[in-house]
Amino acid sequence: MILTVTLNTALDMTYRVPALRPGASHRVSEVTERPGGKGLNVARVLAALGHEVTATGFAGGATGRCLREQLAGTPGLVDALVPVEGATRRTIAVVDGTTGDTTQLNEPGPVIAPAEWSAFVSLYGDLLSSASAVALCGSLPPGVPVGAYAQLVRTAHAMDVPVLLDTSGEPLRRGVAARPDIVKPNAEELAELTGSHEPLRATRDARRRGAHAVVASLGAQGLLAVTAEGRWRTTPPARMRGNPTGAGDSVVAGLLSGLVEQLPWPDRLARAAALSAATVLAPVAGEFDRKDYEELLGSVAVTGEASAA
Amino acid sequence: MILTVTLNTALDMTYRVPALRPGASHRVSEVTERPGGKGLNVARVLAALGHEVTATGFAGGATGRCLREQLAGTPGLVDALVPVEGATRRTIAVVDGTTGDTTQLNEPGPVIAPAEWSAFVSLYGDLLSSASAVALCGSLPPGVPVGAYAQLVRTAHAMDVPVLLDTSGEPLRRGVAARPDIVKPNAEELAELTGSHEPLRATRDARRRGAHAVVASLGAQGLLAVTAEGRWRTTPPARMRGNPTGAGDSVVAGLLSGLVEQLPWPDRLARAAALSAATVLAPVAGEFDRKDYEELLGSVAVTGEASAA
C-alpha cells in the first residue's frame, strides 16, 4: 500500500451565500463537508486511481469523528489516524454566488501533546513496514517539532521506503536536508526555500539542498522536474478555468502512483499534470472526473531530456 | 420545572479574525462554540437564576452531539431534546477585530420528518405534566407545520400550564390566535404582526389578536407591557454599550421566572429589563454576570398603572 501522512488534518467546509457582505447576516444556501488536509486529499486521489492507501496523522474531537465517518466511505482507503485529545480544525470556504470569490476562514487546530506525537512516530514505523511509498504532506500542527518531517524522512530511508515531501517554510527547509526522494514545492514555497524567483535556478538549488528530485508546480506554467534521470517540463493542455483547490495534491498523487508503478519520469509527469488539470475542471474542490483525466492525459505535452547515463 | 422549547436549535460558533476581507484567506485567532437557539438561551438564563429547567426541541448529527455534550455541563438544566436524523445547524458569527463588526453565517438546518414531529408532540405532552410554565421560542425548522406553535399553545392550555411565545412571522400570527399567556415580540416582529410602527398601538393590537399579555422589547426604549392587570414601561438604567445578542432571550427568562414566582407585573418587568441589560454588558454573547444583574435591578425604572379591578 501507499502511506500518506497528514499531521494537520481538517474538516473542509464550503458555504455558498448569495453575496458576502461584511457586517451583514447571511443565510447559507448550501453546506458541504469533506475530509481535508493535503495528505487526505492525496489519499483520496490515489484510492480513486485504484491504489490501496493508508492515511495516518491526527484526528480528535467532534470534528475528528465527523472526518473519520466520512473517510470510512472511501473504498480502498484505510484510516490509521491517531486519536488526539484536541479537536480537529475546520476550514470554511465561503463562496460568493455573485462574484464567485472564495473567502477562507481557517481554524488554528489542536495542540499535539508529546505523548500523542510519540504514539504517531511509533505507528508510522509499523505502517512503513508494509508501504511501497510514503507522502508527507502539509503544515505541522502546534506541538509537533519543527524537524518532524526530517525525522520521518530518515525513518522512511532506514526502511527503504521512497518518500515524497510536500510542505513549506522551515519544515520544508529541514525536511529537504534529510534527502527525501521527491519534493513538490509550488512557486511560492520554492522561492521561500531558495530565495530565487527564477524557477529553473530555484528548482536546481532545491535539489542541491538535498532532494533527489524536485518537481515544482508552477500553476498555469505547468510542472518543472529536475531529477537524477534528467529534466522535464509539462505544458498544460490549454488555459484551464476552474477551482485550483487540491490541484497540487493531485500532482503528488500522480507522482507517487507513477513511482510505485515504476513509470519513467515523463509518464509520471504526464499523469501528474493530467490529474491536476482534471481537478481544476471538477466542480467540487479536490475531486476529479475519471473521463476528464483520461482525455487530458493524451493532450499533456512533456518536453525535456534524459541525463547521460 | 420550567419547560423551554427550541425547535430550531443551533451550535453557535464565534470566530475572531484580525480583519475580514472578502476574497482573502484568514487565520481564525479564536473559536468559541455554545448551544444556541432562543429556547436554549432562555433555559441557560433560567438555570443560572436557580430554576429547574427542562429543554426540549430537536438535535441531530455531529453538531447535535456537540450541542448536547455542552448542555450536559449546565447545572439545573435537563436535556430532553428529541434526536433527529438530520444534523443540527451551525451559526457562525465572524467578529472583525479591527471594526468590531459581526458577519453572521447561518446554516439552513435539517428537515424534520413527520415521525420526528410526532415524537416531539408526544414528549411535549408528557413534559407539560410536570411543568409550571413553558416558553416556545424561535423559528420553525423546515418540515414542521406552520401552525405548530398554535398547536403547542393549545396543548399547554388544556393542561393548565401558562405559556409564553417568542417567535416571528406567520408562526407568531397563528400562535397569537391560540391565545398564549404572554407574547414577547421585538419592534420589528410587532410591526410585521400588526402593520403598525407605533409601539403602544401595535402592542394593544397584538393583545386584541389573542395574547393575554404582550411585552414588546424595544431595544434602547426598554420594555412596553400591555396586560389584563395594567400597562407598564421600563426605562433601561442608562444608554448601554455592548453585545445585544441574547438580550431578548434574557427578557423571556425574566418574565417566565417572575410568572412562576407569582411576582406582580412591575417586578417581573424590572427583572426582565435588568437581566437584559446585564446580558448586553457581558463580554460573551448570551451570558450575564450575576453581580451586574443585581446592581441593575435596583436602577431599572418601571412606570405605568394597574387597571381598575
pLDDT, tens digit, 9 for 90 and up, residues A173-204? 999 999 999 999 999 999 999 999 999 999 99
pLDDT tens for each residue of A204-235 = 999 999 999 999 999 888 999 999 999 999 98
Kindly report the nearest CA distance between residue A31 and chain B, in angstroms: 7
The Cα B40–Cα B44 span in angstroms is: 6
Q: What whole-number distance in Å separates Cα of residue B202 and Cα of residue A250?
A: 61
pLDDT higher at B306 or A142: A142
Give the gap in angstroms from C-alpha B211 to the nearest C-alpha of chain A. 30
Predicted pLDDT of residue A246: 85
Cell numbers representing residue A76 in the block = 480502498
Count of Cβ atoms closer than 10 Å to residue A221 Cβ: 14
Q: Note the pLDDT of residue A243.
A: 72
In degrees, to the nearest 5, what angle opens at C-alpha B210 toward C-alphas B204 and B213? Answer: 55
- Which residues 142-201 in chain B show a CB within 8 A of chain A? none
Asked if the structure places residue B102 within a domain, the reply is no
Domain coverage including residue A126 = 2-306
User: Which pLDDT score is estimated for B16?
Assistant: 93
Q: Containing H/E element for A306?
A: strand A301-306
Question: Residue A118 above 80 pLDDT?
Answer: yes
The three grid cell numbers given for residue B280, joined into one nine-digit string: 448586553
List of residues 6+ apart from A92 with CB closer than 8 A = A13, A14, A15, A104, A105, A106, B92, B105
Does residue B20 sit within a domain? no
**Residue found under cell 379591578:** B309
Question: Which alpha helices (H) appear in chain A, and where do they start and end?
Answer: 38-48, 61-71, 114-128, 148-158, 169-177, 187-194, 199-208, 247-260, 265-281, 290-299
Q: What is the CA radius of gyration of chain B?
A: 19
pLDDT at A308: 64
List Cβ neighbours of A246 (8 Å cut-off, separation of 6 or more): A41, A279, A285, A286, A287
Closest A-chain CA to B108: A28
pLDDT in the model for residue A27: 92
Q: Count how many domains chain A has.
A: 1
Report the C-alpha gap between B215 and B172 in whole angstroms: 14
Residue that the C-alpha cell 400588526 belongs to: B194
End-to-end alpha-carbon separation of chain B, Å?
31
- H or E segment and range at residue A215: strand A213-217
> How far is the C-alpha of B30 from the C-alpha of B16, rounded, in Å?
5
Cβ of B17 under 8 Å from any chain A Cβ?
Answer: yes
Q: Does position A285 have pLDDT exceeding 70, yes or no?
A: no
Identify the residue among A65, A94, A188, A245 best suited for mutation to test binding to B, counting B beta carbons within 10 A and taking the highest: A94
Of A15, A20, A108, the CB nearest to B28: A108
Distance in angstroms (rounded) separating the CA atoms of residues A99 and A294 = 31
* More confident position, A241 or A159: A159
Q: CA A22, CA B20: separation in Å to the nearest integer?
A: 7
d(CA B39, CA B137) in angstroms, rounded, equals 5
pLDDT of amino acid B287: 82
Q: Has residue B64 been placed in a domain?
A: yes
Percent of chain A with pLDDT over 70: 98
Q: What is the pLDDT of residue A62?
A: 87
Cβ separation of A108 and B29 shorter than 8 Å? yes
Pick among A88, A92, A96, A111 to test the B interface (most B CBs inside 10 A):
A92
So what's the pLDDT on residue B239?
64
Question: Does residue B270 lie within any of the structural domains?
Answer: yes
Indicate if the pLDDT at residue A148 is higher than 90: yes
Q: Which pLDDT band holds residue A282 (cuts at 50, 70, 90)?
A: confident
Distance CA B276, CA B261 (A): 19
Alpha-carbon distance A144 to nearest alpha carbon in chain B (angstroms): 19
- Closest CB from A26, A29, A105 relative to B26: A105
Instruction: List the catalytic residue out of A101, A205, A249, A292.
Output: A249
Task: Tell me what pLDDT residue B189 has.
Answer: 95
- State the Cα–Cα distance between residues B95 and B16, nearest whole angstrom: 5
Quote the minimal CA–CA distance from B309 to chain A in Å. 46
**Distance separating alpha carbons of residues B95 and A265, to the nearest angstrom:** 49
* pTM greater than 0.90 (yes/no): no
In a domain, B253, yes or no: yes
When the pLDDT of each residue in chain A is averaged and rounded to a whole number, the result is 93
- The average pLDDT across A127-151 equals 97
Nearest CA in chain B to A17: B105
Q: Residue A101 catalytic?
A: no
**Could you say which of B249, B267, B289, B292 is catalytic?**
B249
Question: What is the CATH number for B238?
Answer: 3.40.1190.20
Starting at the edge strand that comes first in sequence, how are the strands of the sheet with B53-60 ordered? Answer: B77-84, B53-60, B2-6, B133-137, B163-166, B182-183, B213-217, B223-227, B230-235, B301-306
Specify the pLDDT at position A110. Answer: 93
pLDDT for position A307: 81
Average pLDDT per 10 consecutive residues for chain B, totaling 309 residues: 97 93 92 93 95 98 92 94 96 92 91 98 98 97 96 98 97 97 96 95 96 94 95 82 83 97 96 93 80 92 81
Contact predicate B29/B56, CB 8 Å: no
The answer on pLDDT for A290 being more than 70 is yes
d(CA A171, CA A148): 7
**Residue pair B266/B303 in contact by the 8 Å Cβ criterion:** no
**Regarding predicted confidence, which is higher, B309 or A251?**
A251
Report if residue B175 sits inside a domain: yes
DSSP code of A67?
A: H
The whole-number pLDDT of residue A162 equals 98
Beta bridge partner(s), residue A37:
none
